[in-house]
A and B are shown apart, each in its own frame.
Chain A
Amino acid sequence: MDLYEHQGKELFAKHHIPVPQGIVATSPEEAAKANDQLGGRSVVKVQVQIGGRGKGGGIKLVSSASEAAEAARVMLEGGFKDMKVIRVLVEEQLPIAAEFYMAITLDRTSGDYLAMVSSEGGMDIEEVAATKPDALRRRHIDPMLGMQSYQARFLAGGLPEDARGPAAEVVQKLWGLMEDSDATLVEINPLVLLEDGRVVALDAKVTVDDSALYRQAELAELANVFPIDPTEARAKREGLQYVKLDGSVGIIGNGAGLVMSTLDVVAQAGGKAANFLDIGGGASAGLMATSLEVILSDPAVRSVLINVFGGITRCDLVAKGILEALERVEARVPLVVRLDGTNAEEGRRILSDAAHPRIVPKPTMLEAAAEAARLAEVS
């Protein structure tokens, strides 16, 4: 789960990491009022979970209430790069002397954590690593020991002298936040040195481990205020792994790897998947009906491909589940069904006996993908 900037900064503040004074606004009027509270000049920042806000017009320096209101209006009404915007963050303007980069991430290659501090702020970190390796300091953090003081001093040691002490404190606190919040990524880009010598986090990117939300009740609450796609929201409530994509072939499969593979095979057959949906090991009638409802609620869907490999899951039960689901859900598009693995023959027989007008059985994954792609074109 990715936090919005303003949520990340609230978390930073709780951990005593310095952030600019800021006020969240959901309307131009609120933005104007926030600007006045911050002394008549401010920065209006669009709250979206994608990068490139600076270049894309998502961050505006304003010096009056009317300018703040206008900047907020443009962002709230126009959205940002096709994303709906429901909030902006209005922050105090600060006199910046230098910009840096700081991050800690779960390092899946080494199975521990990696802390990074760069004297080059605002740049993409992969680019810094490639073009200015001397500007980047890295240290692996042993999760058993935590970040040691000497590591924090080393990490901050490549920054201008004035910034080193406060930046070392920030990176140590950032580690504390990481541990306390079950974060897998915390990134500050840029971290800035102010003219008065303070070091402040101008941005905040925090990714919290979904698997740990059960013990992060406060953070889990934040997920409820996210403006996510209504179909994705429904799938999430039902416990389905669903990701909306932009094609026309609806996909239902069991197991993440097989579903990913199904998307690829459909693309090779000339189609484009409308979604990723993993029903997991269950594939009961109820789950199948919900999955179909979720997928068919996407108006772009022109055909559906159900690709199940029965391992522990029995294909006869899956076939019955599909038929029961079709009693509850109206199939407005053809459903191509491929069943293989445990009890596949019985499952196929159940489907062919039912002779449902919308069900198109296919014996292999490749044939099923080709047929679903073709039907999405012609229907």
Chain B
Amino acid sequence: MAVLIDETTKVVVQGLTGKEGSFHALRNRAYGTNVVAGVTPGKAGLDVEGIPVFDNVASAVAETGADTSLIFVPARFAADAILEATESGVALAVCITEGVPAADMARVHSYLEGKHTTLVGPNCPGLISPGKANVGIIPGEICTPGRLGLVSRSGTLTYQIVHELTQLGIGQSTCIGIGGDPVHGVDHIDALRMFQDDDETDTIVLIGEIGGDAEERAAAYAAENVTKPVIAYIAGFEAPPGKRMGHAGAIVTGSSGTAAAKAEALEAAGVRVGKTPTEVAQIVQAVV
């Protein structure tokens, strides 16, 4: 069934009436996603090209049965929006917003423990199950339905690799952009577990970058728990230590978080690591 989202997913967009929110919500709807509601405090009763707007997530969920929230609110309101979505009982919250303070995310992370809401993001492109649903800003045109699951910390690098896969005729079950911030929701390990358990996914592509140790931990997890082939790509071999490379989480601190260490850990775990986005697609083609 793909993972996290499919043709039955019902989306409420927090920040629907904003420029970004309306643009992407309408694109997602045009893709075939059930965008059932929007939320902007104080604007209940309006609609955006037929999508009804509510004052809060709880009433949107009550009225429309939305089970997934897509968040486009400004960074200073993002933590509040995620908490509201969680308390309103949606199963999935996808936060696209970039620049959310780390302290806010640490509190959100602590709050989410034990709750039944899964968070994707923030600072992410969202996720897509090609042919079924698109929740976020990944361009649907570059994807094609298939049996490859992809997880990535990056946006455009994901598009690049998906594009190369699609051109080689390799379709995707679900592509998940988990985001480039230090504290975030779904991580590489969660994605590996979901793809391993998904009977519509045969092969997994894992895209990482410098900073933290998520890829190293994913490597250890894959070695123990994943029987499907995993192909990886790591960006940032040329990044100097101590410099933030765009993403808040993309920084080599001292000797930890380097691309070389990550690639090495993945290869030691039996994961094949492509040297370029093109080589990743070629390895996948050879495997499937």
Question: Which residues of chain A have a CB within 8 Å of any CB of chain B?
Answer: 50, 106, 108-109, 111-113, 124, 126, 142-144, 179, 182, 184, 209-212, 214-215, 241, 243, 245, 253-261, 263-268, 272-273, 276, 278, 309, 311-312, 340-342, 364-366
Contact = CB atoms under 8 A, between A and B. Distances in A.
Given A260-B236, A311-B156, A365-B278, A126 B255 contact: yes
Contacts of B250: 256, 260
Interface string B25-62: 00000000000000000000000000000000000000
B101 A264 contact: no
Contacts of A259: 245-246
Given A211-B100, A212-B101, A342 B139 contact: yes
B193 interface: no
Interface residues of B, number: 64
Contacts of A312: 137, 139
A143 B163 contact: no
B114 interface: no
- Dominant SS among interface residues on chain A: mixed
A261 B159 contact: no
Interface of B: 75-76, 99-103, 105-107, 109-111, 125, 137-139, 141-142, 152-160, 163, 180, 182-183, 207, 209-214, 217, 233, 235-240, 242-250, 254-256, 259, 275-278
Nearest to A50: B242
Given A112-B106, A241-B246, A278-B246, A309 B163 contact: yes
Contacts, number: 176
Contacts of A109: 212-214, 217
A134 B45 CA distance: 62
Nearest to B155: A255
Best-surrounded residue of A257, A267, A278 (most CB of chain B within 10 A): A257
Nearest to A313: B156
A143 B180 contact: no
Contacts of B213: 109
Given A143-B110, A257-B153, A276-B243, 16 more contacts: A108-B182, A108-B214, A109-B212, A111-B109, A182-B102, A182-B103, A209-B103, A243-B240, A243-B245, A253-B156, A258-B155, A258-B160, A264-B236, A264-B238, A264-B259, A341-B159
A265 B138 CA distance: 23
Contact of B209 (A142, A260, A278): A260
Contacts of B154: 255-258, 260
A51 B61 CA distance: 53
Contact of B246 (A214, A215, A276, A309): A276
A340 B160 contact: yes
Contact of A341 (B106, B142, B157, B183): B142
Nearest to B156: A255
Nearest to A209: B102
B155 A257 contact: yes
B138 A311 contact: yes
Contacts of B233: 261
B235 to A, nearest CB: 4
A210 B212 CA distance: 17
B248 A265 contact: no
Contacts of B245: 241, 243, 256, 259-260, 276
Contacts of A257: 152-158, 180, 207, 209, 235, 246-247
B142 A311 contact: yes
A264 B237 contact: yes
15 contacts: A109-B217, A184-B182, A209-B248, A211-B99, A212-B101, A212-B103, A214-B75, A241-B246, A255-B156, A256-B246, A258-B155, A261-B235, A263-B236, A263-B238, A311-B125
Nearest to B107: A143
Nearest to B23: A312
B106 A113 contact: yes
A268 B180 contact: no
Contact of A256 (B106, B109, B110, B180): B180
Contacts of A341: 139, 142, 159, 163
